[in-house]
Amino acid sequence: MNARHANPDPCILVIFGASGDLTHRKLIPALYELSRGNGGRARLPERLAILGVSRTPMSDDQFRDKLRGSAKAHAAGFDEASWSAFARCIHYHAGDAASPESYPALADRLARLGAEHRLAMPTGGANLLFYLSVSPNLYVPIIGSLGESGLIAEGKRWCSIDPSATPWQRIIVEKPFGTDLGSAQSLNMALGRVFEEDAIYRIDHYLGKELVQNILVMRFANSIFEPIWNRSSIDHVQVTAAETLGVGSRAANFYDTAGAMRDMVQSHLLEVLALVAIEPPSVFDADASHREKIKLFNSARSIEPASAHESAVFGRYARGKPDEPAYVEEAGVDPARRTETYCAMRVEFDNWRWAGVPFYLRSGKRLAKKLTEVVVQFRRPPVNLFREVDGVGEMGANRLIINIAPTEGLELHVLGKVPGAGLRIDAANLNLDYIDRFGGEKVEAYGPLILDAMRGDRSLYKHRDQIEGTWRICQPLLESATLRERIEDYATGSWGPRGAEALLARDGRAWHNPA
């Protein structure tokens, strides 16, 4: 059976980094939402245990208590009865996951949990899904310790008479996946020494967003888009992820050494772009779509570090209201690093479909609106039939907007005759709001993504070559001293630095900045 249709397998989800922010704000609330049925048909496996691992000593009940507060604060909906039912599968184990000495006790705990929740497989223990929700400097030590622990026996599984009766071990790896091409390659190698590629789940919560998933459905379940989805009809594409909040307390431990390029563009936006730009996969499965994405990233026109400032712009937010410090005033920021809180870039693909069509990506903090969208700007008609009609003049062109967040839907801008005497032409919107049309509650993307890992479906996860492909595109920008020297301050609540406007203006284009 195609993994997409399988039920999630019973397993133990082992979360390394149980006391961390991600576990509390996203992972547990997302899983709890699924247990309440918010995900529609996406349901947790009937037999499941969740084991949080961190260094702080704590009992199962103490851990559950802490998580209860997090679920209450962050899940869509909360009630005591469903929480108590869900919390029964949650457990806690104190240990240092980066140290091989901790693993005999962990293995012992896993064996006991397997028995308690009736999770043991006919030949061996329970299926194990490890989740690396820890600081990235712990990834390699944890992967290495897992390798030495004897818990990973994936190779033996494929040699067994009935692999489906033998437990699997999989690992979900959070972003940031490396800090540049070299470190991403090293991390891929460390993972490859312990896990098979198809047991490695490199997560990107953007790929779990409904409207991001819908891009392929829109393109390939309809026949009207594909014939015009190319350089003949499309002028350019914009992908925007704008946020209104600043970096705040994340500056010290993470953001100041990462910046918007690594935090958003390499990790999320290029992946969204790929769904807009790939060729149709031969089948709807993980391998086929990974192949197309890798092919696309490999066709990106190389940017030279020496001229990277012609293809990109970096900015950082200036001081806003009294409680909104400039980025350089945030605690833990070293202004000399010139870290960008805004990045815009232009990418081109040298392939038959897209030659000459620029893709513009931008993301920033403290901008005018919280908004994630893709804008596909079509060309104008080859001839303006109405050019001599009084008052018509130069006409606009069609535009398709894929609203990813906060609204979810599609908007198609079409030109029409304004009712009344004479001929006046104006743009109007055909609007499809997904929640209005299809109903259902919004579900935190992490939940369905974790279920995919439990059913062995990597379609919404990233292949190693895909990650390395996106780093290859971004690497010259990271290496450009000029780009960093020219970093511009931008006003809080604006749409970013002036240079970003100029980047498009040079090509005779402008950003789509919704009012």
Compute the least distance from the CB of residue 323 to ligand BG6, in Å: 19
Residue 137 CA to residue 176 CA, distance in Å, equals 10
Give the nearest distance from C-beta 184 to ligand BG6 in angstroms: 16
Min. distance of Cβ 136 from ligand BG6 in angstroms?
Answer: 12
Residue 31 vs 151, nearer CB to ligand BG6: 31
- The number of residues that bind ligand BG6 (CB under 6 A) is 5
Q: Is the CB of 87 or the CB of 445 nearer to ligand BG6?
A: 445
Give which of 296, 288, 272 is closest to 353, Cα–Cα: 296
Catalytic residue list contains 463? no
Beta-carbon count within 10 A of 137 CB = 8
Residue 333: HSE in the Cβ half-sphere, 13 Å Cα cutoff = 22
What would the x/- binding string for ligand BG6 be over residues 315 to 354, using CB under 6 A? ----------------------------------------
Q: Which two tokens stand for residue 401?
A: 């907007």
User: Closest approach of Cβ 262 to ligand BG6, in Å?
Assistant: 9
- Cα 474 to chain centroid, rounded: 16
Q: Which residue is nearest to ligand BG6 (CB)?
A: 263
Residue 244 or 299 having the CB closest to ligand BG6: 244
Q: What is the Cα 70 distance to its own chain's centre?
A: 22
C-beta of residue 410 within 8 angstroms of C-beta of residue 401: yes
243 binds ligand BG6 (CB under 6 A): yes
- The interaxial angle of helices 60-74 and 28-35, nearest 10 deg, is 80
Q: Least distance (Å) from ligand BG6 to the CB of residue 366?
A: 11
Q: Classify residue 134 as exposed, middle or buried by CB count within 10 Å of its CB (0-12, 13-18, 19+).
A: buried
- 444 lines the binding site for ligand BG6 (CB under 6 A): no
CB of 351 to ligand BG6, least distance (A): 28
Which candidate in 268, 290, 309, 463 is catalytic? 268
Helices vs strands, H then E, count in the chain: 19, 15
Yes or no: say if 350 and 301 are a contact pair by the CB < 8 Å rule.
Answer: yes
**Shortest distance, position 356 Cβ to ligand BG6, whole Å:** 30
Q: Distance between CA atoms of 270 and 232, rounded to whole angstroms?
A: 23
Question: Phi and psi (nearest 5°) for 469?
Answer: -60, -45
Q: Nearer Cβ to ligand BG6, position 203 or 313?
A: 203
Residue pair 366/390 in contact (Cβ under 8 Å)? The answer is no
* Pairing verdict, β 169-173 and 200-202: parallel
Applying CB under 6 A, which of residues 263, 408, 444, 457 lies at the interface with ligand BG6?
A: 263
Are the C-beta atoms of residues 69 and 33 closer than 8 Å to each other?
no
> Dihedral of CA 186/188/104/136: which sign?
positive
Q: Which is nearer to ligand BG6, 33 or 263 (CB)?
A: 263
- Nearest to residue 91, comparing CAs of 67, 75, 72, 73? 67
The residue among 67 and 241 lying less far from ligand BG6, judged by its C-beta, is 241
Select 214 or 372, whichever has its Cβ closest to ligand BG6.
372
- Reported as type and span, the H/E element at residue 402 is strand 399-405
Check if the beta carbon of residue 51 is closer than 8 Å to that of residue 456. Answer: no
Decide if 43 contacts 34 (C-beta within 8 A): yes
3-state DSSP of 196-265: CHHHEEECCHHHHCHHHHHHHHHHHHCCCCHHHCCCCCEEEEEEEEECCCCCCCHHHHHHHHHCHHHHHH
What is the enclosing helix (H) or strand (E) of 82? helix 80-87
Kindly state the smallest distance separating residue 74's Cβ from ligand BG6, in Å. 13
Q: Take residue 506 and report the two structure tokens written for it.
A: 């040079």
Regarding 372 and contact with ligand BG6 (CB under 6 A), the answer is yes
- Cβ 434 to ligand BG6 shortest distance, Å: 16
Site mask for ligand BG6 (CB under 6 A), range 382-421, x = bound: -----------------------x----------------
271 binds ligand BG6 (CB under 6 A): no
Tokens of 128: 């194990």
Does the protein bind ligand BG6 through residue 174 (CB under 6 A)? Answer: no
Chain residues in the site for ligand BG6 (CB under 6 A): 241, 243, 263, 372, 405
